[in-house]
Structure 1
């Protein structure tokens, strides 16, 4: 087995994207399923860029779960960390889209958020062996909403500390995943003091830190090595090894923004795996890392679906040369 440089833990699911743009949930006539889930998106994007990655999560013992595990394997993501739940179904999320392709999560259909398989990831079944060789652990925060998966996240963080695995958290705030959204803030803030890198959207920065200043957030978190504050087509402000700056977004013909932030995370982690921590040691190389990540994110918006649209390393390099 190839040494997995990156482990991505959390949800893998189907985004049911509205075929009709600019309509509310009730008025959509048809939906197209696309594989998604932020940590799974990151794992797939990393592999397409050439960095070996594995996914850890739980899906149902159902057709949707079979399809998603098969997809991971076809892309080349290691799926040995995937658990199967005998009765809880694989999660499906309804996503409506604006005329411009901007998406909005619109619910889970008939089921309560806590009844899907990803809520039942078992800490006792996590493979310690996966962490022994890894360089990075990538986490979202949605799965903190569910007690059993929350316990698995804590165990993963323990393994990461034990084996000197760098931890990146992407807040990825989605209130609808929480039965009680007011529980989120303390649980999220508790794990942020155990991470090395934080990727956070501008609105999330305002919600969790009352500021969008990457340097101020880094200062508040203390020992963190980097904070990236993304703002869609307005670019990314960052603080990496005390280098603070901003990278403008690339202007592209956006079709669908689903998974763009996850591709950005993959581009960032890929660069750190390729070039090591020295790549953010000086101001210019730190900016180049963020610029690369921004390119991966931008290219993912050119086609519908998060995973299907992800670029190869050759496409990213060709795109950057054109700019």
Structure 2
């Protein structure tokens, strides 16, 4: 099986608070479930751009798992690498939005199907048959075995000269251990392209060689800029009507 872009990580559904400034401390209305997960959103958009994309992950044999699996399959994502289990339920993220633009998450990931990714899932043949690997920092914090699998994929991709892109996508709700930050630095050192928000960049900037990497900084409503070999390229934002901010950094799978 040959694919252009491979990603590895959480496949989940998202349950969203209906109202702005609605907290998790009292009853409220929620919308969903919506197919989600940063790697799943990313690869869905890769396929919509005309490339062949696949995701290695795991969902539960439940309706939430069917929800997101069928969406990815319908959109043309290579789903043969998605495992299914009846031992764990599909990963879930609850999210609420605030009027200042901030978000708050509650994740059900470490003890969900999303945590069932292991180093043995990453084989030489799998990596040899891709053109590019894209990974995200949020996936590294799910569980040690997931982190080890992603590190193995990065190491093999680097060894075989594959293009590696990395979105730190740091989720403080999942923890910022020393091991986690060390892993991020290792992946940064082996990546060709870094796709980062401004806050995340402040955490990892010391590990980035700004002269050798292509560093794309996502600035939301202020557009984006790319740093490469001492030059800076700025792109203005495309004005659109916001439907939902989730996935806006990598384009959303949501149909609202």
When normalised by structure 1's length, the TM-score is: 0.71
The answer to whether structure 1 residue 207 and structure 2 residue 203 are counterparts is: yes
Aligned pairs (5 A) from 1:118-197: 118-145=114-141, 146-178=143-175, 181-197=177-193
Aligned pairs (5 A) from 1:258-273: 258-263=246-251
Which digits, 9 at most, give the CA deviation of each residue in 1:275-313, with x for residues without a partner?
Answer: xxxxxxxxxxxxxxxxxxxxxxxxxxxxxxx20359xxx
Residue segments in structure 1 that go unaligned for 5+ positions in a row: 211-215, 264-305, 311-323
Residue segments in structure 2 that go unaligned for 5+ positions in a row: none
The answer to whether structure 1 residue 256 and structure 2 residue 244 are counterparts is: yes
What is the SS of the residue equivalent to 1:114? Answer: coil
CA distance in structure 1 between the partners assigned to 2:152 and 2:204 by the alignment: 24
Post-superposition shift, 1:166? Answer: 0.4
Post-superposition shift, 1:241? Answer: 4.5
CA distance in structure 2 between the partners assigned to 1:105 and 1:245 by the alignment: 32
CA contact (8 A) 1:81 1:127 kept: no
Q: 1:300 — aligned with what?
A: none
The answer to whether structure 1 residue 106 and structure 2 residue 105 are counterparts is: yes
CA contact (8 A) 2:12 2:37 kept: yes
What is the SS of the residue equivalent to 1:260? Answer: coil
Q: 1:67 — aligned with what?
A: 67
Residues 135-144 or 59-68, more deviating: 59-68
CA distance in structure 2 between the partners assigned to 1:164 and 1:66 by the alignment: 35
Post-superposition shift, 1:57? Answer: 1.2
Output the aligned Cα RMSD.
2.4
- What is the count of residue pairs matched by the alignment? 254
CA distance in structure 1 between the partners assigned to 2:54 and 2:74 by the alignment: 13
CA distance in structure 1 between the partners assigned to 2:177 and 2:61 by the alignment: 28
Post-superposition shift, 1:209? Answer: 2.5
CA distance in structure 2 between the partners assigned to 1:67 and 1:34 by the alignment: 8
Post-superposition shift, 1:181? Answer: 4.3
CA contact (8 A) 1:19 1:32 kept: no
CA distance in structure 2 between the partners assigned to 1:172 and 1:21 by the alignment: 23
CA distance in structure 1 between the partners assigned to 2:186 and 2:76 by the alignment: 33
CA distance in structure 1 between the partners assigned to 2:152 and 2:180 by the alignment: 19
What is the SS of the residue equivalent to 1:150? Answer: helix
What is the SS of the residue equivalent to 2:94? Answer: strand
Post-superposition shift, 1:103? Answer: 5.7
CA distance in structure 1 between the partners assigned to 2:222 and 2:255 by the alignment: 21
What is the SS of the residue equivalent to 1:205? Answer: helix
What is the SS of the residue equivalent to 2:215? Answer: strand
CA distance in structure 2 between the partners assigned to 1:167 and 1:153 by the alignment: 12
- CA 1:138/1:204 → structure 2, altered by over 3 Å: closer, same or farther? same
Q: 1:267 — aligned with what?
A: none
